[in-house]
Amino acid sequence: MKHPLHQFQFCPKCGSKRFLEYNEKSKRCSDCGFNYYFNSSAAVVAVIENSKGEVLVARRAKDPARGTFDLPGGFIDLFETAEEAVAREIKEETGLSVNSSQYLFSIPNIYLYSGFEVHTVDIFFRCKVDDFNHLTAQDDVSELLFISYDLINPSDFGLVSIRKGVEKLLCENKQS
């Protein structure tokens, strides 16, 4: 398995080429002593149901996994809470306003972006939306649709963590 920082060749503090593996999740600069730990980026995922109990599914407009199903969401910005991020991402991708959000679970993932492996922790929230009148595919979403749980196929979801999350949701939905 490759070191998560294998693409980082130079120290981000002093620019030295003597930026070497220190342990399984960090590199250390032999010149300035700077230790850089590679940690997961945080992302949010929204599970939104309509009054019929159908789940809002997005079709990805961009790579990675362009054209496959996804659940609305994205990366948490600096100085933003996960709850703020899920509300912002929903607004950006769907035009909808979130009334409330409830933590469900999290799943680690590797998100390939511009040829770089971004390690993430995807935080799933059940989001309550009262008004669907402004539902519009926007940002990096090409289509939005509601699908009943019994018609959802996890293999239609292109990102591994979303597929695993959908499988977990389907399993929980069968038990209730």
The mean pLDDT of the chain is 95
Other beta carbons within 10 angstroms of residue 141's beta carbon come to 19
Longest CA span, the chain: 61
Closest listed residue to residue 111, CA positions, set 150, 54, 73, 78? 73
Average pLDDT over residues 17-39: 95
Which pLDDT does position 148 carry in this prediction?
Answer: 96
Q: With cut-offs at 50, 70 and 90, classify the pLDDT of residue 19.
A: very high
Whether the CB-CB separation of 42 and 121 falls below 8 Å is answered with yes
53 pLDDT band, cuts 50/70/90, is very high
C-beta atoms surrounding 52 within 10 Å:
7
Q: How confident is the model over 116-146, as pLDDT tens digits?
A: 888 999 999 999 999 999 999 999 999 999 9
Give one DSSP letter per residue of 120-164, joined into a string: EEEEEEEEE-S--TT----TTEEEEEEE-GGG--GGGB-SHHHHH
Catalytic site positions: 143
The answer to whether residue 149 scores a pLDDT higher than 80 is yes
* Domains of the chain and CATH, by start: 1-38 (no CATH), 41-175 (3.90.79.10)
pLDDT confidence of residue 112: 86
Distance CA 9, CA 36 (A): 12
